[in-house]
Amino acid sequence: MSMLYIIVAIIFFASLLAAKNTRKTKKNLPPGPPRLPIIGNLHQLGSKPHRSMLKLSEEYGSLMSLRFGNVSTVVASSPETVKDVLKTFDADCCSRPYLTYAARLSHNLNDLAFSPYSKYWREVRKMTVLELYTAKRVKSFRHIREEEVVSFIDFLKQSASLANPVNLNKKLMKLSGSVICRVGFGMNLKGSKLENTYEEKTWIHVNIWAVQRNPNVWKDPEAFIPERFMDNEIDYKGLDFELLPFGSGRRMCPGIGMGMALVNLTLTNLLYRFDWKLPDGMDAKDVDLEESYGLVCPKKVPLQLIPILTQWT
């Protein structure tokens, strides 16, 4: 019985402390859903936080506050609020918090993606851009992209001759990784000042998934309508905040030129050299379009397709 009293007492005092911290910091935060003691809003995220946060933003606004454990977090979910974060207040919002998993992956945050904004990060980015991603350097690596795409096409030819399904997600990831490894290591892969708004160390989360599916910008955003981008003034280079595949601001992906060159070369070959069909016994309605959650949102069930040789293969 005494142990039960101790547990109840701990929960009670933790609740008081959480309530005190909430009252202390909430005055400068945008609206958000009620929080539970200790866990905050973690229980509302589910297995797909990007969708959960989009649904919450429809109720509490495109700029809302959440609390993940003891971490105060502001979530931006519209082009206007994302522009404020990535452009207007870019200098105040471009750093990175300490994350244990990120530190393990990046030699204690010494990489370009997870390193806090500092002189070290600026020097690393400058060196990366000058050595890898200027227009001249991207052009000089053309032979690497072409060799890797040729190898990919040869694999597809073999699969087509045997009518074998191909896991495109896996093979395209390998293609991208091989190009990056050869370019970087020479080996293959086997605005204004932001003050007195949020407490220090508040995380700001830009929900790019929600921004790029904003129904006020994109008609039927979940539908596959590629022609929506034809004669559309919205560009992907980080200046239009309705479409941000490479991010924007100081933290924008420096490899945008290399990425687009590889995508164009690969996609052209996939469409020009092959026809594609689903495996036997599978119809278009059977394709699972559900995504999984992570740094990116890949298909939960990888797409399997059978390449078909054509006269141009």
pLDDT, tens digit (0-9, with 9 covering 90-100), for 225-268: 989 988 888 999 998 999 999 999 888 999 999 999 999 999 99
Contacts of 120 (CB under 8 A, 6+ apart): 110
111: in domain = yes
pLDDT at 294 over 90: no
Give 190-214 pLDDT, tens digit per residue: 644 555 556 667 888 889 989 999 9
Q: Is residue 51 part of a domain?
A: no
How far is Cα 125 from Cα 1, in angstroms, rounded to an integer? 59
In a domain, 219, yes or no: yes
Of 27-31, 110-114, 222-226, least confident by mean pLDDT is 27-31
Q: Would you list which residues are annotated within the binding site?
A: 253
pLDDT of residue 18: 54
| Residue range(s) defining the domain that contains residue 210 | 78-142+168-268
296 or 252: which carries more pLDDT confidence? 252
Residue 200 domain flag: yes
Annotated binding site for heme: 253
In a domain, 155, yes or no: no
Helices (H) and strands (E) in the chain, counts: 11, 6
pLDDT at position 80 over 70: yes
244: its two tokens = 């941000």
Instruction: Check residue 37 and give its pLDDT.
Output: 87
Percent of the chain with pLDDT over 70: 88
86 is a domain residue? yes
Sheet holding 274-277, edge to edge: 166-167, 304-309, 274-277
Using left for φ > 0, alpha for ψ between -120 and 50, and beta otherwise, residue 231 falls in left
Contact indicator for 94, 251 with CB cutoff of 8 Å = yes
| Residue 251 forms part of a structural domain | yes
Tens digit of each residue's pLDDT (9 = 90 or more) over 129-145 = 998 889 999 999 999 99
- pLDDT recorded at residue 191: 45
pLDDT value for 5:
57
> Has residue 10 got a pLDDT over 80?
no
Average of per-residue pLDDT values in the chain: 86
Model confidence at 292, in pLDDT bands (50, 70, 90)? confident
Give the number of domains in the chain.
1
- pLDDT for 70 equals 87
Give domain status of residue 198, yes or no: yes
Query: Can you tell me the mean pLDDT for 88-96?
Result: 90
